[in-house]
Chain A
């Protein structure tokens, strides 16, 4: 799974460009700093558990049992991993082009909304329904993210801010849909009270599992996510389009002068990242992680977490696979924490601290290097200039 950049680089020029992002001489510093950060994050989390009267060892064991101890636990873990990975892969695409999309949570919701609409309203049966759902979800969420790109293109609206605000719009859009009988609210049966949720999806609109072992089920969503990760990794590293994308991210001005259509490419990257988030929404809806109904809480913070996965993976789609798995482990293990008396919110704390441990080191080492270089130049400037005297002689 770890395909090195050299193997993926398309040609000499490409590999030289990618070398800019390849681990440099400071790589070992980064690794050490990251390791220290992770240890500190885990120690802080343990201290939190201990301070509130819990047992860190028991918590670790519960996390382990709930996530990877047996087939059932693995099934849950992988069910969470799939949408997380999809969101993260999309986030990698936009972040690589220098466009920072933080509206994944809303894009996941839009994807789920449209997938539910197609799944419940389209008179198609068989696998075609599932395909239609996934495609609609990707298109709708891609268009939703594309709106932010249009707002930037024509009115100069900051993309980060607009994607953030659109998240809250999407939340209310879903709430509206499941509260409105003529949209997606469940149909009334007799005198039963209707809840704000949609009808359950038909069986043909649900993602099946493949490779069924005694307890372990690997859901189709995971396959989709893995294929997505590999495709994006290859496209980004090996195609002309991916090359332009990386160039745009590294230096937009240079990219513009080299003939890259900056707005079109950035907009496409944003739309693609939205489309992946939308796919994640459809997968959440169609896989047994939920109840196969559209509910206002269906996104379960997968959008926010997927973004964090991409940050930890430093925007590398293949690196996002193990990171998404780790986040999936934390999610499924979190459900088992309650039995030890430790609130499941612990995993949110651990996640945030871990992200900090992974995000901070490269930035910090870069700043330190620059400061040192700056200090050297300053020292050099204070010395008298011997060269000039020699010339004068």
Chain B
């Protein structure tokens, strides 16, 4: 074993830990640009992870499982959107309750049932996989990983270049002004939450049927919160958000790899790094006003 092998191993585990975060972060980024702050991204990932394994076990097809995972994410996004952007219940309250509900429900169901192990197929890109150091980590992966190549540009295009995205950003910055120009603020936020639900669901489902092949209790273990930290760390810009995901994924990989490498670095520090970095980013960049100005604030017509 050489140092290059070690680096390659850490890199490949880092990528695997980054991918679920990256999927969900694309969704959460879009939702937060619309001013919808949903901490239920944890529930979306966890629910989708469970749903995908349950479906894969029932149908024997991991790909169907992945799709059902996306649907479950969508469903949770739909519920959150309607509760907090139609009925106007505080979005953090809804998030808390949904997280508690999904955690309880999946823990309950996994205790009373057993599922077979299923994983989606692996893709191995010829020639490219032979590149030293980065070849194997990047080009031998489960196929959903490569969906990121479509989803990242698509999210960017939706937010930055489409009319819908322009309206979303208006809704996130100045909902009153957006309302006056005829944009249906709460409808846009519900739509943003659907996108977030689908992608967080994809991330959670990838975690279950892509990476691990099975479901265990509280499988996501706070990854949804790390996604939120990544969006904050990225100062509500897609590129930096994804950079944050990669950083946090690598930190996680380092934590898992350290004992094997015989290095001693404080593992608590690596676990806490995403949250500390997000807090630091908020403290340092606060004056630049990168945060969508109506983030987390409910919109009610006629109020100021």
Chain A residues in the interface with B (C-beta under 8 A): 48, 52-54, 100, 102, 151, 155-158, 160-162, 164-166, 168-169, 172-173, 175-176, 179, 304, 307-308, 311, 343, 345-349, 351-353, 355-356, 359-360, 363-364, 366-367, 374
Contacts and interface: CB of A to CB of B under 8 A. Distances in A.
Given A168-B225, A352-B100, A355-B97, A157 B111 contact: no
A360 B87 contact: yes
A336 to B, nearest CB: 16
B87 A307 contact: no
Given A100-B90, A166-B279, A343 B111 contact: yes
27 contacts: A48-B108, A52-B109, A100-B92, A151-B282, A155-B283, A155-B286, A157-B282, A160-B37, A161-B37, A161-B296, A162-B279, A165-B275, A168-B225, A168-B271, A168-B275, A169-B276, A169-B279, A175-B271, A304-B96, A347-B104, A348-B101, A348-B108, A352-B97, A352-B100, A356-B97, A359-B89, A360-B83
Contact of A160 (B92, B98, B104): B92
Nearest to B270: A172
B245 interface: no
B296 A351 contact: no
B222 interface: yes
Contacts, number: 126
Contact of A349 (B108, B266, B282): B108
B90 to A, nearest CB: 7
B229 interface: yes
A356 B43 CA distance: 15
B87 A157 contact: no
Most buried by A among B83, B112, B222, B266: B112
A349 B92 contact: no
Given A102-B92, A363-B87, A343 B282 contact: no
Given A345-B108, A349-B108, A359 B275 contact: no
B125 interface: no
Nearest to A165: B275
A157 B83 CA distance: 26
A161 B271 contact: no
A346 B111 CA distance: 11
Contacts of A54: 112
A352 B107 contact: no
A363 B286 contact: no
A352 B79 CA distance: 14
B186 to A, nearest CB: 11
Contacts of B98: 352
Nearest to B95: A102
B233 to A, nearest CB: 10
A169 B269 CA distance: 9
A351 B108 CA distance: 13
B101 A353 contact: yes
The listed residue with most A CB atoms (<10 A of its CB), out of B96, B228, B278, B295, is: B96
Q: Give the dominant DSSP class at A's interface.
A: helix
B87 A367 contact: yes
B93 interface: yes
Given A165-B275, A343-B107, A348 B283 contact: no
A179 B88 CA distance: 44
Nearest to B300: A370
Given A52-B109, A156-B286, A158-B296, A359 B100 contact: no
A352 B101 contact: yes
A363 B296 contact: no
B58 interface: no
A151 B107 CA distance: 36
Contacts of A52: 108-109, 112-113
Of all A-B residue pairs in the complex, the 8 with the closest CB atoms, nearest first, are A348-B104, A352-B101, A155-B286, A343-B111, A172-B272, A345-B107, A345-B108, A349-B104
B100 A179 contact: no
B39 interface: yes
A156 B295 CA distance: 13
Interface in B151-208: none
B103 A169 contact: no
B105 interface: yes
Contacts of B269: 172, 176
B96 A307 contact: yes
A331 B149 CA distance: 46
A176 B90 contact: no
Nearest to A353: B101
Contacts of B283: 151, 155, 157
A133 to B, nearest CB: 24
A166 B280 CA distance: 12
A39 B283 CA distance: 46
Nearest to B107: A345
Given A151-B282, A304-B96, A363-B88, A164 B39 contact: yes
Given A161-B232, A173-B272, 7 more contacts: A54-B112, A151-B279, A151-B283, A168-B271, A175-B268, A348-B104, A351-B104
B111 A308 contact: no
B87 A364 contact: yes
Contacts of A175: 268, 271
B232 to A, nearest CB: 7
A137 to B, nearest CB: 21
A372 to B, nearest CB: 14
